[in-house]
């Protein structure tokens, strides 16, 4: 009987502590993502050559605004020859110190393209942070998911424009 009273007391206290009007707590997340690399024809000079614009898309896919200081975050569009580790930065965007949840930043570069090149350069979109960003005392600029900070597009994909 003593155990039954204790059990009922625990259940009663638990039920009283649960208020059905309480909102569930949602964890705040900041997650800048190298979201997409898009490309478009600017001009075509032959059936195999032309000028192409390549655009990087960075998005805060988290549910909380990113707030930092100028210069602590940058995005690059990079070309890397297939099978190589050599990378050439072709466009840079100093990211705004404030990127609201859901907002996107785009930047691009234009280059000549020739589909007769058998092995096209890979295009890489990469977000880079100041090395001390996680220890700067500002939790509002701590990206929770570094696995989506780089995106690679196979350069041969761009040949489909021609």
Write the CATH number for 112.
2.60.40
Q: And the tokens for 128?
A: 């880079």
**pLDDT exceeds 50 at position 130:** yes
Domain that holds residue 154: 42-161
Q: Does residue 122 lie within any of the structural domains?
A: yes
**pLDDT exceeds 80 at position 26:** no
**pLDDT exceeds 50 at position 23:** yes
Q: 86-125 pLDDT, tens per residue? A: 999 999 999 999 999 999 999 999 999 999 999 999 999 9
Instruction: With H, G, I as helix, E, B as strand and everything else as coil, classify residue 128.
Output: strand
Percent of the chain clearing pLDDT 90 (strictly above): 74
Q: 30-64 pLDDT, tens per residue? A: 999 999 999 999 999 999 999 999 999 999 999 99
Residue 13 confidence (pLDDT): 45
**pLDDT exceeds 90 at position 154:** yes
pLDDT band at 6 (very low <50, low <70, confident <90, very high): very low
pLDDT band at 132 (very low <50, low <70, confident <90, very high): confident
Q: Does residue 115 lie within any of the structural domains?
A: yes
Q: Does residue 2 lie within any of the structural domains?
A: no
Q: Which of 23, 10, 30, 11 is nearest to 129 (CA)?
A: 30
**pLDDT exceeds 70 at position 18:** no
Residue 11 confidence (pLDDT): 47
Q: Does residue 28 lie within any of the structural domains?
A: no
Residue 59 confidence (pLDDT): 97
Number of domains in the chain: 1
Report the distance separating Cα 113 and Cα 55, nearest Å.
Answer: 15
């Amino acid at each position: 009987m003593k155990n039954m009273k204790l059990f009922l007391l625990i259940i009663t206290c638990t039920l009283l502590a649960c208020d059905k009007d309480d909102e569930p707590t949602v964890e705040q997340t900041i997650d800048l993502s190298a979201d997409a690399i898009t490309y478009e024809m600017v001009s075509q000079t032959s059936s195999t050559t032309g000028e192409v614009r390549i655009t990087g898309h960075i998005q805060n896919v988290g549910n909380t605004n990113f707030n930092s200081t100028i210069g602590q975050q940058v995005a690059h569009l990079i070309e890397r020859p297939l099978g190589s580790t050599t990378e050439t930065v072709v466009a840079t965007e100093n990211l705004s110190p404030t990127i609201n949840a859901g907002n996107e930043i785009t930047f691009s570069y234009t280059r000549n393209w020739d589909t007769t090149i058998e092995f096209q350069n890979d295009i890489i979109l990469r977000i880079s942070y100041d090395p001390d960003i996680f220890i700067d005392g500002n939790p509002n600029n701590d990206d929770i998911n570094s696995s989506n900070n780089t995106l690679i597009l196979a350069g041969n994909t761009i040949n489909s424009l021609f």
